[in-house]
Chain A
Amino acid sequence: MSAAESRIALIGLPNCGKTALFNRVTGSRQKVANYPGVTVERKEGYHRSASGRRYRLLDLPGTYSLTPTTLDEAITRDVALGRLASEPRPDTIVLVADATHLPLSLRLALEVKRLGLPMIVALNMTDLARKRGYSIDRERLSKELGAPVVETIAVARGGADALIRYLDELSSETTTLTPNSEWREPSAEDVQQTHIEATRILAACGYREPARSDFMTSVDRFLLHPFFGLLVLGVLLFFVFQAVFSWASLPMDLIDAGVAALGEWVRGSMPDGPLRSLLADGIIAGVGSVIVFLPQIIILFAFILALEDSGYLPRAAYLLDRVMGSVGLSGRAFIPLLSSFACAIPGIMATRTIPSVRDRLATIMVAPLMTCSARLPVYALLIAAFIPDRDLGGFNLQGLVLFALYFAGVAGALLVAWTLKKFRGGNDTHLLMLELPDYQWPRLGNLAYGLWERARLFLGRAGGIILALMVVLWFLSTYPAPPVGATGAPIEYSFAGQLGRALAVVLAPIGFNWQISVALIPGLAAREVAVGALGTVYALSGDETAVSTALSSVIASQWSLATGLALLAWYVFAPQCLATLAVVKRETNSWRYPLIMTVYLFGLAYLAAFATYRLALWFSVG
């Protein structure tokens, strides 16, 4: 280790703005990986100060104390104690304290202080705290703690300059503190002592607590009310799904028209041949039919991110805790399950914050039932094709159906969790103990950045795996060429056509034709590809005029309503995502759970599609 590099670890309570501060100091020079052997995210970043010194910053998982209750918190303790073989003990600890919420941070600081490592206390969010009338004698606090105390505003440009100056000063001093090797876990008595000490210090420093307006408490009384709170939550979710459909239609039409024009242009300006077919039928028709859904994804995430920023999400967890508890899920499972609406992968990784192993497994098993954003294109396509765009009691019918599909996923998850609970029996105690942070206005910059990330991810997938799959699928649907004198469309004689027909034998009872069967296969790599695959399959089997019309009108004319509804039901449950299964394998470290998951999800999907198809047929005949 070069003398000019020092290792800094950031420790703080959850939601103290630690990660924002980390981002402020390191900028884009970050590396995210896992700690070896465990699936806890390790975030490391670099900073070179004006004096030329190099810092390696480690963003440790947020914790209330050094006594861990979760995997994440255990990592924080082990790194701070130098117990991890792969991670040298940090040279300095930056304790990030939320100035709007000082007592608990200060108690943690006293606990961390006992480790005997050099420590700097960063009073974060001082801008917000000051607005609410906070004040403290910083010099005195520094003296009491025996550690430098600096003010930071992680969300402002230059808000971490003071911290960096102190780091430079601290590391140019040659004093070496000897780490306390005889650390032992604090007892309940010790914790009480640190509270008393923290209270004394705060009083000595003339601490004025930032006021929380009574208004906020009244808001909480209302939003956490057993009846009105649930009502607001329901209306809010409902509104989101309405907005996804009604606001997105204009940009979607524009993208659709653009894709169609591009396809026409390629068709018109290139000589006939395989390359033209690949570009027009494979890439443009396939990738184009996925990109159309960008506006809907952006709108959905604008809401999710705004709710996340505002501090409402843990409140929703509180409101739904009863339901979660009754099916044997931990209250902590709410946030992982909610992230699964974006994608099951981060959701499954977020289950690391659940203390009990059994609770964690149960949550992992139901996470894929949350409707991930990759399913949105499939739903949206089928809804646009089969559900009339009309008002139903003042609501958009298409939005209602989308809401119902999301709801079906949640209901399925609850049912599965309940079944799991019955299977394993026993009477576990489940912890909630969730902090409900103060409300905040969502920051526009934050929101824009989050949306940009989402859009980039989506378009990146469209340009990467989806594009590649489209090319492969085009090849499989084009070759071998039909025999001379063949009467049907060429695709019917291709590999994909033959495979689709073979699969259709199994899938015919649930109403799927061979085109759908073909599209389900590449959908295993990425769900939204199923939409693109349908685009390609129909582009290759249709005549020239059919191609230029939107995919939704093609399938609306070729499938029965029953088939469309059955495919919707299939997608509520189907485990159409290899990446999710791979993550489950990694997180549970066994093949057992991904296998169980695959089997039960396929079973549910088949049953649901079968029931839907038969019922729809019966109703349309009867």
Chain B
Amino acid sequence: MGDVGQTPRTLSGLKAGESAVVERVDADDLLARRLLEIGFYPGAKVELVASMWPADDPVAIRVGGATFALRRQEAERVKIR
């Protein structure tokens, strides 16, 4: 947690074509586990392929050799750095 006082960025904050690394997925509920299972584990590289207008919902994200479409509330669960 480098930047004090700053809320960590999430997947839905990425721009098209931008890459990042997953920091964590919060909580341990079904949604979190499924996100982990499909490859959003800490250290995984992700790249935003496209996002829909307006409000970046949903987004298409490349992770671990696959592409997934996520709605905003799903994408926001994945914190990145």
- Residues on A lying within 8 angstroms of B by beta carbon are 64-65, 67, 69, 100-104, 107, 186-189, 191-192, 195-196, 209-210, 212, 217, 220-221, 224-227, 229, 314, 317-319, 321-322, 325, 331, 429-438
Contacts and interface: CB of A to CB of B under 8 A. Distances in A.
8 contacts: A64-B34, A67-B34, A107-B37, A188-B32, A321-B71, A433-B68, A433-B71, A434-B68
Nearest to B50: A224
Given A221-B16, A321-B58, A192 B50 contact: no
B74 to A, nearest CB: 6
Contacts of B58: 318, 321-322, 331, 432
B1 interface: no
In the complex, which of the residues B16, B41, B70 has the most CB atoms of chain A within 10 Å of its own CB atom? B41
A224 B65 contact: no
In the complex, which of the residues B37, B41, B65 has the most CB atoms of chain A within 10 Å of its own CB atom? B37
A433 B74 contact: yes
Contacts, number: 123
Nearest to B34: A69
A189 B41 CA distance: 10
Given A101-B65, A192-B36, A433-B34, 13 more contacts: A69-B34, A103-B65, A107-B37, A188-B36, A192-B42, A210-B65, A220-B50, A224-B49, A229-B50, A317-B69, A321-B57, A430-B71, A432-B71
A430 B57 CA distance: 12
Interface in B12-62: 16-17, 25, 27-28, 30-39, 41-42, 44, 49-53, 57-58, 60, 62
A62 to B, nearest CB: 13
B78 to A, nearest CB: 11
B65 A433 contact: no
Contacts of A69: 30, 34
A101 to B, nearest CB: 5
Given A188-B32, A220-B49, A436-B68, A318 B37 contact: no
B28 A187 contact: yes
Contacts of B51: 226
A16 to B, nearest CB: 11
B73 interface: yes
Contacts of B25: 188
Contacts of A431: 31, 71, 74
B8 interface: no
Interface residues of B, number: 37
A227 B53 CA distance: 8
Contacts of B67: 220, 435-438
A209 B65 contact: yes
Contacts of B16: 221
B4 interface: no
A321 B57 CA distance: 8
Given A221-B17, A318-B58, A318-B60, A433 B69 contact: yes
A304 to B, nearest CB: 20
Interface of B: 16-17, 25, 27-28, 30-39, 41-42, 44, 49-53, 57-58, 60, 62, 64-71, 73-74
Given A67-B30, A431-B71, A433-B70, A321 B36 contact: no
B11 to A, nearest CB: 12
B37 A226 contact: no
A331 B73 CA distance: 13
A249 to B, nearest CB: 38
Given A321-B71, A433-B74, A436-B69, A67 B37 contact: yes
A196 B27 CA distance: 19
Given A103-B39, A104-B39, A331 B52 contact: no
Nearest to A68: B30
B57 A314 contact: no
Given A188-B33, A318-B60, A432-B58, A212 B65 contact: yes
Contact of B73 (A196, A225, A226, A429): A429
A229 to B, nearest CB: 7
A136 B37 CA distance: 22
A281 to B, nearest CB: 54
Contacts of A64: 34, 37-38
Contacts of B32: 188
Contact of A436 (B36, B37, B39, B60): B60
Contact of A191 (B31, B36, B68): B36
B70 to A, nearest CB: 6
B33 A322 contact: no
Give me the 4 closest cross-chain CB pairs, A-B, nearest first.
Answer: A224-B50, A226-B53, A436-B67, A188-B28
A187 to B, nearest CB: 6
Nearest to B32: A188
Nearest to B30: A69
Contacts of A433: 34-35, 38, 68-71, 74
Contacts of B37: 64-65, 67, 104, 107, 191
B7 to A, nearest CB: 21
A432 B74 contact: yes
B47 to A, nearest CB: 8
Given A220-B50, A431-B31, A432-B58, A331 B69 contact: yes
Contact of A224 (B27, B34, B60, B71): B60
A430 B25 CA distance: 18
Contacts of A319: 52
Contacts of B30: 67, 69
B52 A322 contact: yes
Contacts of A436: 60, 66-69
Given A69-B30, A104-B38, A314 B64 contact: no
A316 to B, nearest CB: 11
Contacts of B17: 221
A104 B69 contact: no
A229 B42 CA distance: 31
Contact of A331 (B27, B38, B50, B71): B71
Contacts of B52: 226, 318-319, 321-322
A64 B37 CA distance: 7
Contacts of A67: 30, 33-34, 37
Contacts of A104: 37-39, 64, 66
